[in-house]
Structure 1
Amino acid sequence: MDTTLSDPLVGHTLDGRYRVESRIARGGMASVYLALDVRLDRMVAIKVMHRSLAEDPQFVRRFIGEAKSVASLSHPNIVHVFDQGTDGDHVYLSMEYFPGKTLRAVLDERGPLAPREALEIMIPVLAALGSAHLAGLIHRDVKPENVLMTEDGRVKVVDFGLVRAIEGGNQTRSGVMIGTVGYMAPEQVTTGQADVRADVYAAGIMLFELLTGRQPFGGESPVSVAYRHVHESVPAPSSFSYDIAPALDALVAAATAKDPADRPRDANAMLVAAVEVHRTLPAATTGRHSAPPRPAQVEQAFHTGSHTMIQPAIQIPPTTPPRSRRGFRVNWGIVALALVMVGGIAFSGWYFTTPRTAIVPDLVQRNVEAARQLAESNGFTIKIAEGRYDAKVPKDMVLETSPVKGVEAERGSVITIIASRGPEMVTVPKVEGKTEADARVAISDAGLNVSRVRRTPSDTIARGLVIKTDPVVGKKVEKGSNVILAVSMGLLLPDVVNMPRDQAEALMRENGFDPSCVNEVVDDTQQGTVIAQEPIAGAEVDKGARVCLTVSRGPDTGWKWPWEQDPSVAAPDFVPVPDVRFKDVNEAKRELEAAGFRVQVHKLFSRGRPGGDGAGKRVRGQNPLGQVPAGSTINLWY
């Protein structure tokens, strides 16, 4: 089962900045995750302390202080610390993501290493420790688990300052030893105290392990292993493999001396000695002949003694200390001379451990600046070529590189980046006053599409010409976007049929038409009522168009009420009709109905203008007016 699936931090964003992608490792004090820094668009490693430590306020304060100190270190063999913070119950460090294996994994896969290869790993480790020692920092937990390696041979040390932060917490007290028992100096075991020479001791143990494939002391428990560190001398690596030179035995013996005063004074002094030993070794070593397989007890200690632990200092019964082996004593006069040549020595260490080529990293889909940082951290330089428009990739994100990812190239060579310029933006052209056909051509030439044509009444723009666009002219839009055209349908003729002539003519003039053409005809309709119009209602015409109204002049015999034509029909009571013109149509309807009339409401414009239920519209025509029989039907136009 993939344990990362059940890890609640996977998928969580710490501090709103670090989106946790997966868990890389889990140790005794913390878990390490791969995360995306969404602010800088780069992958980072996030070390999250276990909750038991995060709940200790003294630890948190000490942790923050140590993180600031470690962040000040700048060395190519130290994993850089970018940031630290807390998010609820989570206390974390944000660090440089360095893909590769731990030195422990390399040892598990390969077993003991050839002497030159072992030193070529130790030299950058000692350089990293030496840089920290000059800055006043002690690692306190040097071991293969805290050394990272890539396939191309780069080496980096991690977890500076973490043990010191724990030492200052509530969970520890004076006389408590903290670290990994297989690498603890005798003084760490007995007093819990450590200085830079404890790091030297642990480096000596690690060198022994690289040469032999095992730790020097095994035991059934951490206490038994610690006891042997206090009372036994580390055996010579050559006792386990015949091809280990005496100079390597002497280097291990000096670094692991019981008395701190007998060790190199710091990692820089051990670095000087290691580079000198490396210079004397043969160019290549063929074949390894190791001692017989380790006993089961040692095998067990090899695995169980690798975790950082917190344990009370061990009270070891005093015994007569064995005489220190003097096979290797540092001549400090020589060291002083060597320090004058430290630039050359540092260059030698770099030359032995730094490969001449590197693999081009995957920079695509990264922000240009984040890609630059990643490329430069891998030894390349960056050239920004002319960008390219891309509708799907945001501006300043890398589209492609030359050479492409995965190619092996010389360090220092140039990676050319082509970045996205984002979607291409174009300007909506001015097409007002153009015909629809001409407007379509102009919009297409600008790289846009006409998605819809909306026909709109206008008393200023002739029929068939463009009134406006949506988006508006001059607006910057993404190339390929859609544009809506509003095309003039001119003016719409209102519907004045059944309206009194005087009202119909006034309404036509008010809307910009010429109603000078009037035809009177005999009709059963009440005299003076419009019975037809030409053009018909709703026709699209230009402003000033001539309209002919056909008006009734009544029947030949004269128009009569029904009771005037038939004596048997009783004459009704005549009542005045309220004049509701220019009132809100709904209020007018209610007023007439309250007066006992039936009401029919008509829209002047059948399309092109809002109608709805008449809300907010004014009465523009009314028929009849004056005196009419009670209960008559009144026509209203809005």
Structure 2
Amino acid sequence: MALSWQLSSSANVHSIVMNTMVADALLGRTVDDRYRVDARIAVGGMATVYRALDLRLDRTVALKVMHGQWAEDPDFLSRFRAEARAAARLAQSNVVGVYDQGEWDGLVYLVMEYVPGRNLRAVLRDSGPLSPALALSVIDQVLQALDSAHRAGFVHRDIKPENVLVTPDGAIKVTDFGLARALRAPSSRTGDALIGTAAYLSPEQVSGEPTDERSDIYQAGVLLFELLTGRPPFRGDTSWEVAKQHVNGSFPQIVDFDPSCPAEVSDLVADATRRNPHDRIPTIGEFRARAVSLQSGLPAAGPLLTSAEEPTLEATADYPLEGATTAATPAQPTERDSGGPEWRRRISISSLVIALVAATGLLLWLNPLARSTVPNVTGTSESKAVGTLQTAGFAVDASGSEYSEKIPAGKIIRTDPANGANARDGSEVTLIVSLGPERYKVPGVRGETPSQATTDLADTYLSVAGQRKKFHDTIDVGLVIGTDPAKGTQVKRDAPITLLVSKGPAPVSVPNLNGISESAARSQLADVGLSASVTKRESDTIPEGDVIQTIPASGAKVFRGDRIELIVSEGPPPVAVPNVVDLPREEAVSELKAAGFKVEISEGVVTPLDRVFETDPSPGSLAPAGSTITISIF
């Protein structure tokens, strides 16, 4: 009877036995002479979390120990230390506090506030969708945590139910601030892996574009969607299929899952999850204000109550979790209840027989000696690879992804263990799925300082190769005009980008304006962005009103907006009228013409002396050269 129970419940027995048989070397040890490890409470893809006692301050803490490969990555360690120090400065009631960080005995650890209760994933699994009022109450507390972080310069980038903790009294606390950022940059250990959970990635995270506070707004909108519907917005056979839907799919409407949900609440989710970051709710503060306003118009919701259990169901060897039990450990009867030593012996023998039969059945089922060759699934689709590996008797983890220049997006790059390796039947094979070629859009940096532009390019995993100076009519000297390659160009990670920096407006040549009219000269100067001032000057050769010369001279280099001086002719200078009175006619005419005048003669009917008796203008007065002098003859 015991054997049939073992076989029919093999999955459960396997889970219990494996969790209780695999010892955790940290349990019972003291980390860094300060933190006594009492229990393992959660295991994730990148870290294991323990409940520990801070012996120095006598308080219970959560000890997050990163998996071994991170301790060997100097790039990650540097970011981890910096982000931990920054996260420790976050002090807000909805943020899980960070107390300490360090490295000890080859381990990298983070000490955080211990929060009894469960994560939001477990709560939703048990409760199903929440009422709109309760969902808004939960998201309000998440947004308070994010608002505090954004004000301190933090972007979370990994908002999901697993990172939202619910205390026994219903309070909400957000954890892992700074960790997503420390894991975000590619390094010798992460390669080009895409960090994040596919169901909650923002479109810009999937596309490899720069992320900011608006990515948190999108993920908070996805979380609110799941609170209201009980499921994430996108599903697919593979994580890659789910991720692509954030970029290419249409975000589903709440009404399709719950027609009774108020339209304003559905609109709030839609506005937070717009594909283009510029179209989303602009700030966490505005998101929260709308959520609070909507909540006030709904029937009051009680707190999201949960138990005080730790967020794990496993019990570890030699150090079972508090309150954890296993089917293999029946309660022992007392002597008073059993009736005497003979009955105890009978029970002991029966128990031993049952245990031996159960253990034999379990060993037959587990067959720890059975091993198989990992099949080659490189280049196949994720769904086909999962099917092939499962058919071969392996469990599959398809959460890994990397960029690849050779393997198309959605296809398998490699497995761990590698194809051809001999692995235990039922063990886990990790798939690394291709994201396709790693490309990043060159961001727009026009109008920024070179320092700002360099930072923006670095945030997009691009580098600055140098600067090239160019003239520009509107961009101030020293600011960035653009880049080479241009904004929006898709380039490889770390591609060298040249900054085009303004030298100000380009110089222009002063046009040749000599001999043309003043109005025509002004027009030509305006055509090349120059203005004019005018100075009048006499000229014997240039007609009145025409340009004699320019200052600077024609051909000189000047800048747009400069003023050019036009020297404009007033005509020739005036000439003194010679005194020709009492001179004979011919001699007077000759002298006046020699002085540059024209001559007109006025005479009577009889001119016995044929001499000049007066001139008009009179002798000695000034008259324009070329003007007419009238002489009177008698």
What TM-score, normalized to structure 2?
0.45
Instruction: Compare CA radii of gyration and give the structure with the larger one.
Output: 1
What TM-score, normalized to structure 1?
0.45
